[in-house]
Chains A and B, each alone.
Chain A
């Protein structure tokens, strides 16, 4: 079975709409992006977790949720690899995990407004 982690309501609709627009467009009106697109050092809140690629293992979404990638949790990209910017090290809550890009692509986040840098 494959689990989708999504809060009910408007965001769901916004996401569906965004998916139909295709993945070329990175963010929608709500400023949602996938974790892969989050800048190193930037923080965000998890919006939803679901396999982005139909061929990805179906347990992937569940395991990411079990690691703590759950809607509402704070995430921050700690570091990225050199080639292909993979893997990425992500802090979620009080833990840090290394993820490959196809894993991070399952996680949709909403970047937090950072004080002007």
Chain B
């Protein structure tokens, strides 16, 4: 380590490689981080730094970079990688050392980048990653010979195994790393002849080291013959998505009932045990009725993410993009927009960031603008609450749950809205004439159980910390606004009507009455801007406080099913399909587009769509129920 520590107090080591070759998995093993890993290109879209303490006690900064096919970037995420490597990034010098990560099963493609990097002149090592899969496929790479041919050290790694980075750590720990020569590295865009010459060199090297075998029809190809089949493929896709929504309702019932029972029991015993006081009000009406009513949806969130993670890890997502590409193209979207849009089903923020993998700025902007119409997981509690209260638990012919079907339809309405907006943007000239696809379809993998467990646990942590921090504090604020000022002596209505929140609600109700919302809903919409789920909690608190009788249970579901009409409930569902995203999404749009223009346009068009959508839903539903 002496050599490294000479120039810089803590050396910076960058992980570079083609997309989906396992850089982030390796980064996680090296640094103990838990960055997101999945089986498709473009999971990592920004630089991530972590620290490694080597066995001999040396500290190394490890940099994970977005995957790149070459050092001549075409997309914003590749730009990050090129800028870091060439030392062009403001306030950051080029890395001291490069670990070029390669997929041992796909060296034919990966080695070209190694040759380019070698030309860059930075000290480097080649990590032959996924050697476990290569071995299983019967690919034996002679690492020593490869090192001789390339003139740089080669180590074998397995990014998905805790001990898989040992040879690399030993390498980083040894003094074999040459000191970096200061100065900028000249980079010249290779000509056609250069790339062809590199490929000829790659073929020559592979013949020598035993990696030049090209399998005929692989297992992945056989699967693809079915999964990508023009007729069978879309059926499989539809069935898969349908199963997810069915499971979200069917499997979550038991644990949700258990949590609900626990929260109710706690509220009941607090109500009985505590003397009437402000503290009792805060705990029962604010914390339990508010945050507790959001917490109930944890099982559904876990089930949804279980499926999302499975799909991500198996390599199915890019196949789904393949199947839906034609549809996306017809509304002027880039085929590459699929994965960012799909990520938006978890949360629009990572989805919007994932648009960095889209080359054309206009395509990228169009994708950002429609990403919030994908139903994010924070909307799930709102949908689930209203569906649970108004849609009967009935089994349709064919064993389908009616509630699951309604949920599926809500997601579809969001997607249809997004397609419609994309089409309008296309007609307005915001779409490029040629939308690139060029999407890598990686080999299928069995989902890694450790990965799946970590991913799920992270989602649980995120959800619980949201409930425990932002949702809880908003609920406490809302409780305070709904409890003060106290009603004047001799007041007859519930106390909340005289409070600040009550007044605010009655003003907002003027705006929202045409679409069927009462003042309780109008209040709940406001904190819902900070985080979607809060709307559910807010309804919990508002209804707990506006009940005049003393025998209100903590359960929100029967309460709203009694006090709302069906048209109101449907109108609120329509509102949440379109309603402007939470503020953090708008802030992300501001950051990614570097302008206030687009978040403002986005908020305005979503608000307009939501209002019109709810208005039509409410009026049509009212007319229909009057008929019947």
Contact = CB atoms under 8 A, between A and B. Distances in A.
B326 interface: yes
A70 B196 contact: yes
A98 B335 contact: yes
Contacts of B442: 96
A50 to B, nearest CB: 9
A86 B358 CA distance: 20
A98 B233 CA distance: 15
B108 A80 contact: no
Task: Decide if the interface of chain A is mainly helix, strand, loop or mixed.
Answer: mixed
Chain A interface extent, by class: 35 or more
B505 to A, nearest CB: 50
A102 B435 CA distance: 9
B322 A93 contact: no
A55 interface: yes
Interface stretch (B29-37, B68-76, B86-94): B68-76
A65 interface: yes
Contacts of A102: 434
A79 B220 CA distance: 12
Nearest to B105: A94
Interface string A59-92: 1101111111011111000111111101101010
A3 B191 contact: yes
B291 to A, nearest CB: 44
B175 interface: no
A66 B233 CA distance: 29
Interface string B212-228: 00110000110011001
B225 A79 contact: yes
Contact of A55 (B229, B322, B433, B439): B433
Interface in B176-208: 189, 191-192, 195-196, 199, 203
Q: A57, A63, A98: which has the most chain B beta carbons within 10 Å?
A: A98
A60 B72 contact: no
A73 to B, nearest CB: 7
Contact of B72 (A62, A97, A98): A62
A32 interface: no
A99 B234 CA distance: 18
Contacts, number: 132
A98 B322 CA distance: 7
B127 to A, nearest CB: 18
Contact of B438 (A1, A56, A63): A63
B228 A4 contact: no
Interface string A94-117: 111111101100000000000000
B228 A79 contact: yes
Contacts of B318: 98
B549 interface: no
B108 A68 contact: yes
B36 to A, nearest CB: 22
A5 B105 CA distance: 26
B192 A5 contact: yes
B441 interface: yes
B196 A5 contact: yes
A94 B441 contact: no
B106 A100 contact: no
Interface string B507-526: 00000000000000000000
A72 B195 CA distance: 13
Contacts of B326: 81-84, 86-87
Contacts of A83: 326
B109 interface: yes
Nearest to A91: B221
B231 A79 contact: no
A51 to B, nearest CB: 10
Contacts of B199: 68, 70, 72-73
B436 A74 contact: no
Contacts of A66: 69-70, 72, 112, 195
Interface in B20-44: none
A81 B321 CA distance: 11
B234 A82 contact: yes
B437 interface: yes
A100 B326 CA distance: 9
Contacts of B233: 79
Contacts of A94: 105-109, 214-215
Given A78-B225, A91-B221, A99 B438 contact: yes
B283 to A, nearest CB: 55
Interface in B133-187: none
Given A55-B434, A96-B224, A81 B325 contact: yes
B399 interface: no
Contacts of B221: 78, 91, 96
B436 A71 contact: no
Given A57-B434, A63-B438, A103-B436, A78 B195 contact: no
A105 B443 CA distance: 25
Contacts of A71: 196
Contacts of A67: 69, 109, 438, 440
B392 interface: no
Nearest to B325: A87
B329 interface: yes
B230 interface: yes
Given A68-B199, A96-B221, A103-B437, 14 more contacts: A59-B359, A62-B72, A64-B438, A72-B199, A79-B224, A79-B229, A79-B233, A87-B325, A89-B322, A95-B440, A98-B325, A98-B438, A100-B437, A103-B438
The 10 tightest CB contacts between A and B, nearest first, are: A82-B230, A79-B228, A93-B108, A96-B441, A3-B192, A66-B69, A66-B70, A98-B439, A100-B437, A98-B322
Interface of B: 69-70, 72, 74, 105-109, 112, 189, 191-192, 195-196, 199, 203, 214-215, 220-221, 224-225, 228-231, 233-234, 318, 321-323, 325-326, 329, 335, 359-360, 433-443
12 contacts: A5-B192, A57-B360, A60-B434, A66-B69, A67-B109, A78-B228, A82-B231, A82-B234, A84-B326, A97-B438, A100-B437, A103-B436
